[in-house]
Amino acid sequence: MALDCISGTRQEWNASDLEWKVAEGKLIRIEAKSAAYFQSWQQKGHSAISFDIAKKISWYADTNMYGKVPERVADVYMFFLVHPKEDKEKVNPLDLSQWSFYVLPTQRLNQVFNDQQSIALSRLESLHGPCFEFSEIKDRVLKAANWNPES
């Protein structure tokens, strides 16, 4: 919604979660990862927050072909955290004020983590800085993708 790139149903198992058409012939491919301290099942404590950033052999829906080597094919990774920790009953995933958002260029993940398979929240925050709000997603993704409409 924040990127206005939802048209129909997402292609499951496609190489990237979202493809945002920012200009004729220019797509920004986005990998989306989410986490929360509370889950729908019974828990003894909060979930440890980490995000999957593993390189994978991707499948491309438009060609029905697989890539040849494990890689991160998206241009940008978006990380979402449902951040309430106090009261499970008050967690509402539809309330965007309960979410924290982070965006990193895939190039940065490749430089810092190479073949690492996950990133902890503390490490994400040290690379990214403070989280931001839903209304900032569009600008943050454009910046992370190094998109300049003048070029």
Per-residue pLDDT of the chain (151 residues; tens, 9 = 90+): 888 776 555 667 777 888 888 888 788 999 999 999 988 888 888 889 999 999 999 888 888 888 899 999 999 999 999 998 888 888 999 999 999 999 999 999 999 999 999 999 999 999 999 999 999 999 999 999 987 665 5
Under a CB-based contact definition with an 8 Å cutoff, are residues 83 and 37 in contact?
Answer: yes
pTM, 2 dp: 0.88
pLDDT computed for residue 12 by the predictor: 73
- Rama region for 129: left / alpha / beta (φ>0; ψ in -120 to 50; rest): left
Token couple for 14: 């496609």
pLDDT computed for residue 30 by the predictor: 92
**Residue ranges of domains in the chain:** 18-144
pLDDT computed for residue 52 by the predictor: 95
Under a CB-based contact definition with an 8 Å cutoff, are residues 123 and 140 in contact?
Answer: no
Task: Please list the residues that pair with 65 across neighbouring strands.
Answer: 60
